[in-house]
Chain A
Amino acid sequence: MDTPKVFESEYRFCLILWEHEPVKSSELVRLCSAQLGWKPTTTYTVIKRLAERGVLKNENTIVTSLVSKDQVQAAELNEMVERTFEGSLPAFIAAFAKSRKLEKSEIDTLQQMIDHYRKEGS
């Protein structure tokens, strides 16, 4: 069976779960608020999402995990989220803001500039 994918923030949540399970969802809310800074609604949403994904199960408000720490670590999601943001600024504003990615050549040039600068100083 494929280990379900877990985002980094969800991973931090799972760490709390593994440490305290089996745990009441309301207790989870308290723990997440203290350690992660999450609002209660956020915690419940994440519980629901992870339940759908098969990472945990929530029975009669008791939450237990379905996958282990080792399993998740192996399938760690490394990729950066690159979804286009709904409602990003229109293209011309983006153009003004010079939001385009730097070309490799430009990156190199700038890196050189920084290195040169460092040398000059020391």
Chain B
Amino acid sequence: MSAVFLKIVNMSISAGWIVLAVLVLRFLLKKAPKWIRVLLWGIVAVRLICPFTIESVLSLIPSAETVSPEIMMDQTPQIHSGVSFINNTVNPVIESSFAPEGLVSVNPLQIWIPVFAILWLAGIAGMMIYTAVTYCCLKRRVRTAVLLRDNIFQSEQVVSPFVLGLIKPKIYLPFQIQATDMDLVIAHEQVHIKRLDHWWKPVGFLLLTLHWFNPLMWLGYVLLCRDIELACDEKVIEHLDINDRADYSQALLNCSVNRRMIAACPLAFGENSIKKRIKSVLNYKKPAFWIIVIAVAASIVTAVCFLTNPPGVNEELSVFIDMQIMEHNQGKYFPGQFTAVNHKILGTKRSKGNITVFLLARYQEYSFENGEIQQAGGSYIPTAITAKRTGKHGHYKLVEYWEPRDGSYYAEDIKAKFPWYLHAKALDMRYSKEQSAWCDNAAKEYFSDVTNVGGADKPVNITVKSDLEKLKEKFPMYFDLDTSNGLDVYIWQMAKDSYSCALLPGKTFNYTQDELWDLHKNAATIEEMRTIVASYNLSRSDVAVIPIQLPISSYAYTIDDRYRQLLTGLFWGDYGLALGQYHSDYCIDEATFDIDGDGKPEECTLSYGPTSGLFTIKLSVYETAGTGRLYEYFNIFNGPAGELSFIQTDDGMKLRLVPYHENIHVDYTFSIEDGNIVLISPDNIYVWEYWGEQGVNSPFSDVQIFKALEKNGYTSYSPTSYIVIDEYGTPVLAISHPSRSP
């Protein structure tokens, strides 16, 4: 029902544009016969009645779908009225009133739109009841009307003449009416009947009840009634001489003086701006033929321009887009036997003869073996394709095939390229499920056709295995784990560029040596483990990355804070880290100096913050090894992006920031307040922004982790590594600063 309501709203808005156009035309075609005006209103009516229409470039409707039928599902609901001014005025209001808060809560429009739909129905019901009541009342009043002749009646209840009845229309006149007036009045009402005005008015009113919420429709209806009267007058006096026309005007005047009764349904002679009608009659001149021609032509043009919709993306362009996606991706992956391409258009933009289509492109290759369809290489990327129509019928030429860059540039690039109202849809890959399903189905269909699979292996049971399903088969022990304490990812290095991972429920420290060593039996690659962990939908702070050294590996490496940071970054695929680069990259900088002015130097480490997306940096400060204390200070900063380093100046050690792509640098001074490190910019503004909990007792601080480890039996620790000692005092495990929330 909400869908119907939204469709009506869109039709109403489209019709609203026509009403405005008709108002302009009425003014321009003043000299034309009045029936042209009624014809124009007919065009409005067609638009209101007919939900279907054809697309044409001649369309002057700004937008056929101002309110998207999916607006209730949108994270950032907005209208596309086709007029930037209106969009820019209305959408911010909608956003502030109706946008859902956070990614979890329900779009308020999901509640409001059904409410509006119900109100709309109530309005319709109200108007229909009103119409029925007034009609019945009027009928009742005139039932004692006396027959004059044919279908003409007179009643003392009638003040101003009118027509009543749909099938067998009757003309009602007052008793007190002069003979001369009577003939003219009857002529007028008979013209109404002949032209079926006693149907058009109710039809117009019916349309009005459906669109009662649109003020332009009320205006249209009122003007329609007026124009019907004027057209009727014109028809009556067309062939009358001057005297008769004067008589007619007199009749209008006479009837108007006494009347007060207005009714919803019937057509009332003498209603509707008497002055205007009298003037119209007196000033009537038979319009020249060419004026009629122009007026009719203008009406046809109006009909074409406003009964058609602006073009969306046509069939040819759609096919062209599929081709481009196919060509662009071919050869990137190990070839499969079948390729499926699916795109979902989010929006379009036209400029200088080019059309840019913003879409989500799904490319997927499949292979078929042993009766099973496997997914091979594929991608799902927000894409912008710009094309130009060539002279040849329906052909396009590619102007640009745009994709966002990887890693931290991904979101930035999309926001720069895509229109703002499409950002949300592009970034959250809105249609990934349905697009993937479409591709899978296409593959199923293809491989079901025996001729495509060479006839040898007749497909018995065709299932499409996603990566996750394959992983489930390979590593069943890593699924359905208890995540009440998060998850622990253990990573060890087998060779310089070879990493292996194992997965255990969070904080399970009570494993034996054998159990630890057994981890290597189910070694997964980092990519595999990342996919497995991602399927749990935990937040990052619930997943701990723990580097360990397994005896089975002969590759020697030191497990320290730096190494742990590196592996964490590597696991999450953050910050564009490439294999082999990290030892010098992940830990941004470190320096030993007296940061808090207590006379003793501290080891200060600058590294990436616990989240990605935001550019956060972590500053950890701990006393030098040997004192047994861990951290003195720990703080997270959300600052501008750029290159950071410690720098020794005449004024002491400072933190230097060189913003990306700029030639300037900003030096921050360190200060300690309330047990927290504070950065002060040169103009004395604190840079430290509160993010989560700061300070050494922060959930993100390693201090908490070690407290927890202690509780669980770890007996000694040092600032750089946490060593488990067995009953013989032999170190058996080195865990370096795992990070997690308590």
Contacts and interface: CB of A to CB of B under 8 A. Distances in A.
B437 to A, nearest CB: 53
Interface string A100-122: 01100011001101110110111
Contact of B274 (A13, A36, A102, A121): A102
Contacts, number: 129
B282 interface: yes
Interface stretch (B242-250, B362-370, B445-453, B694-702): B242-250
B261 interface: yes
A111 B225 CA distance: 25
Given A87-B133, A87-B137, A122 B242 contact: yes
Contact of B262 (A9, A38, A89, A113): A89
A106 B275 contact: yes
Nearest to A85: B261
Interface string B246-259: 10011001001111
Contacts of B250: 114
Given A94-B262, A99-B262, A122-B243, A111 B253 contact: yes
B257 A101 contact: yes
B278 A107 contact: no
A37 B142 CA distance: 12
Contacts of A85: 134, 137-138, 141, 261-263
A110 B258 CA distance: 15
Given A8-B175, A87-B134, A122-B243, A117 B262 contact: no
Interface string B133-145: 1100110010111
A66 interface: no
Contacts of B219: 96
Contact of A39 (B143, B243, B258, B274): B143
B717 interface: no
B246 A114 contact: yes
A82 B260 contact: yes
B645 interface: no
B272 interface: yes
B156 A7 contact: yes
Contacts of B138: 85
A46 B261 contact: no
A10 B153 CA distance: 14
B273 to A, nearest CB: 4
B112 interface: no
Interface string A1-43: 0000001111011000000000000000000000111110010
A59 interface: no
B257 A102 contact: yes
A122 B243 CA distance: 8
Contacts of A74: none
B271 interface: yes
Given A87-B133, A88-B261, A114-B282, A36 B146 contact: yes
A117 B271 contact: no
Contacts of B243: 118, 121-122
Contacts of B273: 97-98
Nearest to A114: B249
Contacts of A94: 262
Nearest to B225: A97
A52 interface: no
A87 B278 contact: no
B558 interface: no
A103 B173 CA distance: 24
Contacts of A115: 246
Contact of A42 (B144, B157, B174, B253): B144
Contacts of B249: 110, 113-114, 117
B710 to A, nearest CB: 78
A86 interface: yes
B147 interface: yes
Interface residues of A, number: 43
Nearest to A9: B144
B241 interface: yes
Contacts of B257: 101-102, 107
The listed residue with most A CB atoms (<10 A of its CB), out of B144, B274, B279, is B144
Contacts of B258: 80
Contacts of A102: 256-257, 274-275
Nearest to B219: A96
Nearest to A43: B144
B222 A96 contact: yes
A86 B249 CA distance: 30
A37 B144 CA distance: 9
Contacts of A88: 134, 261-263
A8 B156 CA distance: 6
Contacts of A38: 143-144
A36 B176 CA distance: 17
The listed residue with most B CB atoms (<10 A of its CB), out of A9, A98, A111, is A9
A118 B246 contact: yes
B411 to A, nearest CB: 51
Given A81-B156, A93-B222, A102-B257, A117 B242 contact: yes
Contacts of A42: 143-144
A42 B140 CA distance: 9
A118 B282 CA distance: 10
B130 interface: yes
Given A7-B144, A7-B156, A88-B262, A118 B242 contact: yes
Nearest to A84: B260
A97 B242 contact: no
Contacts of B38: none
A77 to B, nearest CB: 8
Given A113-B282, A117-B249, A46 B159 contact: no
A8 B175 CA distance: 8
B275 A110 contact: yes
Nearest to A82: B260
A99 to B, nearest CB: 5
B176 A80 contact: yes
B155 interface: yes
Contacts of A97: 222, 225-226, 262, 271-273
A39 to B, nearest CB: 7
Given A39-B143, A121-B246, A86 B275 contact: no
B264 interface: yes
A12 B226 CA distance: 36
Contacts of B157: 9, 81
Contacts of B141: 85
A80 B225 CA distance: 26
B279 A113 contact: yes
Contacts of A87: 130, 133-134, 137, 264
A114 B245 CA distance: 9
A46 to B, nearest CB: 6
A49 to B, nearest CB: 9
15 contacts: A8-B175, A9-B154, A12-B146, A37-B146, A85-B134, A96-B218, A101-B259, A102-B275, A110-B249, A110-B274, A111-B253, A113-B282, A115-B246, A118-B243, A121-B241
Closest 10 CB pairs of A and B: A121-B242, A37-B147, A98-B273, A118-B246, A8-B156, A9-B144, A96-B222, A87-B134, A114-B249, A42-B143
Interface of A: 7-10, 12-13, 35-39, 42, 45-46, 77, 80-82, 85-89, 93-94, 96-99, 101-102, 106-107, 110-111, 113-115, 117-118, 120-122
Given A85-B134, A85-B262, 14 more contacts: A9-B144, A9-B156, A37-B145, A38-B144, A77-B156, A80-B156, A80-B159, A80-B258, A81-B156, A87-B134, A87-B264, A97-B273, A110-B249, A114-B282
